[in-house]
């Protein structure tokens, strides 16, 4: 068996276990904890195509789909177009709209356009599946990381995203802010490797003023493993009416700022390690 084949086998085995848990009624969080898969992108790919358990779904979601399907049918949409738009099965659509009049037969040119669109969507789905397989295989190839590897990764991550000391503004302390849960999770793992206890950390959410601050704090608190009540007062970003916000929706939870108390010595170690990495990485072999 080649290394690539083994990687795909590992991925398929992990996917099979994830699907089995999904069918048992587990939520994504429960699957994450059982399989120890803390990469959200990989976790979603492992259960792709498996419907979420009913208990995790928002109430009346099917009622909204049914109403939308009927609305589109009345506008003359075919079952195929409704299915592509809403992502539900044709059998469900048929039940929801069977009492409505059938739409008039479309002109040949329009039918050809719709057929071409359907082929493109199919080809796009095939390409996306291959794209996701490549990404998942690459993720599986990484394997377990040693504490040293996590330390080096954390130093690079901090130097890219963390606050840095300047000759004109002395800031020798660890201060980090990011909106990506995966980045935050890796940063917290790095702090663990450095031996930094959670008691030395201070957390603050930076978020748009129109967002749900409480929900955001609860999300970040669960990720960090600390009570939300320990968070400092959130920093609210005021809305500029002249701009159109793109960071909206249920997944928008602002940024999490993490400050480490009594971290001047740690900061100096990080800066020194960073320049050590630069020197080793640019030195001719």
Q: Residues 88-104: pLDDT tens digits?
A: 888 889 889 888 888 77
- Answer yes or no: are the C-beta atoms of 139 and 38 closer than 8 Å: no
**Which pLDDT tens digit goes with each residue over 52-63?**
887 666 555 577
CA 123 to CA 247: how far, in whole Å? 30
**Which pLDDT tens digit goes with each residue over 169-190?**
878 999 999 999 999 999 999 9
Cross-strand pairs, 166? 169
**Which pLDDT tens digit goes with each residue over 221-249?**
999 999 999 999 999 988 776 666 666 67
Gyration radius from the chain CA atoms: 25
Residue 254 lies in a domain: yes
CA 175 to CA 159: how far, in whole Å? 11
Query: pLDDT value at position 60?
Result: 56
Give the global pTM. Answer: 0.57
**Which pLDDT tens digit goes with each residue over 194-227?**
999 999 999 999 999 888 999 999 999 999 999 9
Query: pLDDT value at position 4?
Result: 41
**Which pLDDT tens digit goes with each residue over 36-51?**
888 888 888 898 888 8
Residue 134 lies in a domain: no
Average pLDDT over residues 270-285: 90
* Greater model confidence, 108 or 213: 213
pLDDT over 60 at 1, yes or no: no
Residue 167 lies in a domain: yes
Residue 218 lies in a domain: yes
Confidence bin at 3 (pLDDT 50/70/90):
very low
Q: Which of 133, 120, 127 is nearest to 42 (CA)?
A: 133
pLDDT over 50 at 2, yes or no: no
- Provide, rounded to the nearest whole percent, the portion of the chain with pLDDT above 70: 91
Residue 196 lies in a domain: yes
Residue 58 lies in a domain: no
Residue 237 lies in a domain: yes
For the chain, what is the domain count? Answer: 1
CA 177 to CA 257: how far, in whole Å? 4
Which helix (H) or strand (E) segment holds residue 144: the answer is: none
Residue 248 lies in a domain: yes
* Greater model confidence, 20 or 243: 20
Query: pLDDT value at position 58?
Result: 53
| Range(s) of the domain holding residue 180 | 147-282
**Which pLDDT tens digit goes with each residue over 116-148?**
887 888 888 888 889 999 999 998 999 899 999
Query: pLDDT value at position 59?
Result: 52
């Amino acid at each position: 068996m080649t290394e690539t084949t083994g990687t795909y086998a590992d991925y398929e085995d992990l996917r099979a276990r994830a699907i089995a848990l999904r069918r048992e009624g587990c939520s994504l969080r429960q699957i994450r904890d059982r399989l120890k898969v803390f990469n959200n992108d990989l976790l979603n790919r492992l259960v792709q195509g498996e419907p979420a358990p009913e208990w995790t779904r928002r109430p009346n979601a099917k009622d909204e789909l049914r109403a939308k399907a009927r609305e589109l049918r009345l506008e003359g949409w075919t079952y195929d177009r409704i299915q592509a738009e809403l992502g539900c099965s044709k059998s469900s659509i048929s039940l929801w709209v069977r009492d409505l009049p059938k739409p008039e037969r479309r002109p040949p040119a329009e039918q050809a356009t719709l057929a071409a669109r359907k082929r493109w969507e199919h080809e796009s789905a095939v390409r996306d599946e291959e794209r996701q397989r490549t990404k998942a295989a690459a993720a599986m190839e990484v394997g377990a990381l040693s504490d040293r590897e996590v330390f080096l990764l954390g130093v690079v991550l901090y130097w890219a995203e963390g606050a840095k000391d300047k000759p004109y503004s002395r800031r020798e302390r660890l201060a980090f802010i990011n909106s990506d849960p995966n980045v935050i999770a890796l940063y917290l793992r790095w702090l663990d490797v450095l031996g930094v206890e959670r008691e030395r950390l201070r957390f603050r959410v930076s978020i748009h003023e129109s967002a749900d601050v409480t929900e955001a704090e609860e999300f970040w608190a669960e990720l960090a493993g600390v009570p939300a009540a320990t968070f400092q007062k959130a920093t609210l970003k005021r809305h500029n009416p002249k701009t159109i916000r793109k960071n909206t929706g249920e997944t928008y939870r602002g940024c999490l700022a993490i400050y480490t108390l009594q971290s001047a010595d740690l900061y100096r170690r990080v800066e020194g390690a960073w320049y050590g990495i630069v020197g080793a990485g640019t030195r001719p072999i």
